[in-house]
Structure 1
Amino acid sequence: MNKTLSDFRSEQIGDCTMYLGDCRDILPLLPKVDAVVTDPPYGIEDIVGGYGRDGRVIANDRTLDAMRDGVRAGWDLVDVGWAFVFYSSRVTPQVMPALPGGDYFGEIVWNKKAPGMGKNIRYQHENIAVLRKGGARLARDVFSVINSYRIGDLHPHQKPVGLMVEVVGATDADLILDPFMGSGTTGVACVKLGRKFIGIEIDEGYFDIACSRIEKAYAQPDFFVEAPKHTDPKQESMAL
């Protein structure tokens, strides 16, 4: 029996719609979107034998299958627009062949204040693969981001909201899709910018956190994340 969207738990908060489940099951049921902005699972355990912060392996993180299938299925929902796909430089040989090759546009480098995940080499940056379809144009070609600190027990891959605001704001896309929503940072950025958002998350705990953060973002328009323990934000830059 074929599933419908009503078979999945969903939450509607303002212009944001969130679904709980495997994105590979949900994406074929969704309407067209204008852009994909996502930080998918890296496949860390198989590739480098490491784990996320706090020693946890994220759901679907054992292989790159979820990333490949989710990104490609999400990209199929875009007729004219952009995709921004975060990935760690240490998995470049595995990630790049998994992306829709004919639509590859370039890279953004995010220079991080804090080193990345893992127990061995400390990575100071992450890459964002940029895909373009149908002659879409970026609203800007130079990015800047205010670095924020990781707060509490949100999600091992959580990105600063300021970074996601810069990425989402780089296009004039009205409806943004994140097939690997995590704790909802892309959704919070969409609220900040007045964009519509569809997010999918397989882990119920992170799904609940995402819904809570997005609800708070609507209640407090200038809300990014809870106040950081350290208050020394630093302006950093990214370049295409």
Structure 2
Amino acid sequence: MTDYDPQKDAHDSYYAAIEAKRGRGDAVIRREVQIGDCRLILGDCLEVLPLLEREARFARAIALSKAAGEPWAGSGSNRRCEWIRKAMAIPVFDAVVTDPPYGIGESAAKNNRRGLLAKPKDYGSDDWDQAPADPKVIAWMRENSDWQIIFGGNYFDLPPTSCWLVWDKKVNGDFADCELAWTNLKKAVRRIEWMWNGMLRKGNEERFHLTQKPLGVMEWCLGHLPASVGIVCDPYAGSGTTGVACVKRGLQFIGIERETHHFETMVKRISAATEAPDMFIEPRAPEPKQEALL
């Protein structure tokens, strides 16, 4: 009799539930749009991420076998298993940069009570912030990417880090003075000031989402990633600000959003960003590298 492994059981049950849903004909990916180097997916990231993982592992296993001069179609089952094991050692994404729900009850009704100088904008009545992001998604992001920048990291069970990214919003009222992004970057704490106080916003940037981050702040976050990063995923993409920032910095982007109206906004914003790229963004300098002495 083998020992019971609760972690493996939970993992297997999770994937079995996704397969059962697919077997019933329920669409995990309700819609998908490709715009340049941006892949935009309408669906729940809890269900979509395992599919992307399997897709990436299989594609990389085939690529590894081809690079070794062994076409996949001609490989035996043992060799295929070997390529798959090697593919599983490669992260699905280079980086995850995201702003998950914190579970603090942000809503249209709460936003409407904030209108003092002007009528608040209607961002819809979704229930996405009634509970924090599922711990399984947080764990998946950490296990399947090299680098993570997770806003609201102070709301989640994450390990100590040397590098928090701090956004000072220059606000008043019931919003927090700053927002904290947990990272696994190997550097010191960094801070940016960017006013985002109701209708008073640096650059007068239009808001499409109740908890939208400024484009300048997301570009600043991306600028802290190592130069080797090429593919960025945002499992809680919202109105697509992370994706627009990726377009402006020449990075590939995969965005997942479950609310249809926010997904449509993301498609429009990223389409516009792709059609009018920012020619003034300089590429990031290469990361310093320790040279061998011998």
Within the candidate set 137, 143, 161, 1:76 is matched to: 143
The reply to whether residue 38 of structure 1 matches residue 98 of structure 2 is yes
Bigger relative contact order, structure 1 or 2 (CA pairs below 8 A, ≥6 apart): 1
Aligned length: 200
Aligned positions of 1:71-110 closer than 5 A: 71-78=138-145, 81-87=146-152, 92=154, 95-97=155-157, 99=158, 101=159, 104-110=161-167
* CA distance 1:222–1:143, shift in 2 (3 Å): farther
Q: Looking at secondary structure, tell me which structure has more helix per residue.
A: 2
What letter corresponds to residue 194 of structure 1 in structure 2?
A: G
* Alpha-carbon separation, structure 2, partners of 1:209 and 1:217: 12
What letter corresponds to residue 206 of structure 2 in structure 1?
A: I
Larger Cα-atom Rg: 2
Equivalent position of 1:219 in the other structure: 275
Equivalent position of 1:182 in the other structure: 238
Moved more, 66-75 or 206-215: 66-75
Could you say what secondary structure the match of 1:44 adopts?
coil
Q: CA RMSD in A?
A: 3.1
1:72 is displaced (CA, Å) by: 2.1
* CA distance 1:61–1:192, shift in 2 (3 Å): same
> Quick check: 1:19–1:200 contact (8 Å CA) kept in 2?
yes
Equivalent position of 1:126 in the other structure: 179
The reply to whether residue 163 of structure 1 matches residue 191 of structure 2 is no
* CA distance 1:149–1:83, shift in 2 (3 Å): farther
1:77 is displaced (CA, Å) by: 1.6
* CA distance 1:87–1:145, shift in 2 (3 Å): same
TM-score under structure 2 length normalisation: 0.60
* CA distance 1:11–1:167, shift in 2 (3 Å): same
1:7 is displaced (CA, Å) by: 4.3
1:96 is displaced (CA, Å) by: 3.4
> Quick check: 1:59–1:202 contact (8 Å CA) kept in 2?
no
Q: Deviations over 1:148-188 (max 9, x none)?
A: 44525x10011111111111121121100100000000000
* Alpha-carbon separation, structure 2, partners of 1:24 and 1:148: 35
Could you say what secondary structure the match of 1:45 adopts?
coil
1:73 is displaced (CA, Å) by: 1.9
1:67 is displaced (CA, Å) by: 4.5
The reply to whether residue 113 of structure 1 matches residue 180 of structure 2 is no
Equivalent position of 2:62 in the other structure: none
The runs of 5 or more residues in structure 1 that have no matched partner are 224-240
Fraction of identical pairs, as percent: 34
Q: Deviations over 1:102-160 (max 9, x none)?
A: x7443121011344xxxx6342211111125xxxx56x9756566444525x1001111
* CA distance 1:15–1:183, shift in 2 (3 Å): same
* CA distance 1:202–1:55, shift in 2 (3 Å): closer
Equivalent position of 2:131 in the other structure: 63
Equivalent position of 2:45 in the other structure: 23
What letter corresponds to residue 129 of structure 2 in structure 1?
A: D
Q: Deviations over 1:57-78 (max 9, x none)?
A: 54431112x3533222222221
What letter corresponds to residue 63 of structure 1 in structure 2?
A: A
